[in-house]
Amino acid sequence: MANIADIAILVLLVVASSLAATPHTTEAAKHVVQWIIPASQNSSSFYSNLFANTKFNLNDILVFNYTTGFHNVVTLSKDDFKDCNVKKKMETFETGPTMIELNRTGEYYFACAFPFHCSLGQKLSVNVMASSSSPAMAPSSTASHLSAAATFPALLMVIAINILF
Ligand SMILES: *[C@@H]1O[C@H](CO)[C@@H](O)[C@H](O)[C@H]1NC(C)=O
Ligand SMILES: *[C@@H]1O[C@H](CO)[C@@H](O)[C@H](O)[C@H]1NC(C)=O
Ligand SMILES: *[C@@H]1O[C@H](CO)[C@@H](O)[C@H](O)[C@H]1NC(C)=O
Ligand SMILES: [Cu+2]
């Protein structure tokens, strides 16, 4: 026969474990891209197609994976990106893999500055959204409701078992 203290401890354990299992929402996503000259015929849209369904949120990390010395990563203005004017680069990253922390919202324009690589399609623009706080909150509260809903029957069962046996 269970006593009140046993039940109280069980309740605490179950509640604590459900709290611990609640997922973290602020985790930054990591997007890895194989940074190459696209082999496809539609080379100029290769990278935009690749990420057509990807959402980039503030503080996500973009990883350009390439072999140092074979490619690099430069940032460009919108116009220089369009024209592959890589000589007007703002920043240069030359060690692969290059990790870029997307620490501001808005458009980023990346290209490889090796001769002809950009015009052969090795260019990528991403639009970083500030949505990491608001839309991410919705799934989070749904998740914690679900986990609370799932916890309650489990709690009753544990108590019932404890009382019965
Ligand atoms: C390739 O480009 C053509 C013409 O621009 C387009 O119709 C087709 O959908 C593209 N294919 C892919 C896989 O992007
Ligand atoms: C980077 O590219 C290399 C060579 O293609 C590959 O072995 C490695 O798994 C890639 N790394 C990531 C994080 O994708
Ligand atoms: C954002 O990241 C860049 C390099 O990725 C860095 O130079 C800059 O200081 C960062 N800005 C902030 C506000 O953290
Ligand atoms: Cu390149």
Pocket test for ligand 3, best of 73, 103, 104 (most atoms within 8 A of CB): 103
Contact of 60 with 28, CB cutoff 8 Å: yes
* Any ligand 2 atom below 6 A from CB of 32: yes
* Calpha distance 128→87 (Å, rounded): 24
Helix or strand or coil: residue 20?
helix
Helices vs. strands in the chain: H and E counts, helices first: 4, 8
Q: Domain of residue 93: give its range.
A: 30-130
Alpha-carbon distance of 39 to 115, in angstroms, equals: 16
Q: Using a 6 Å CB cutoff, which residues line ligand 3?
A: 100-101, 103
How does pLDDT run across 37-92, given as a tens digit for each residue? 998 766 778 998 899 999 999 999 999 999 999 999 999 999 999 999 999 999 99
pLDDT in tens, 99-109: 999 999 999 99
Is 142 within a domain?
no
Would residue 84 count as lying in a domain?
Answer: yes
Give the range with max mean pLDDT: 16-25, 67-76, 147-156. Answer: 67-76
CATH code: domain of residue 86: 2.60.40.420
Is the CB of 65 within 6 Å of ligand 2?
yes
Flag whether 38 is in a domain: yes
Report how many domains make up the chain: 1
**Residue 24 domain-assigned?**
no
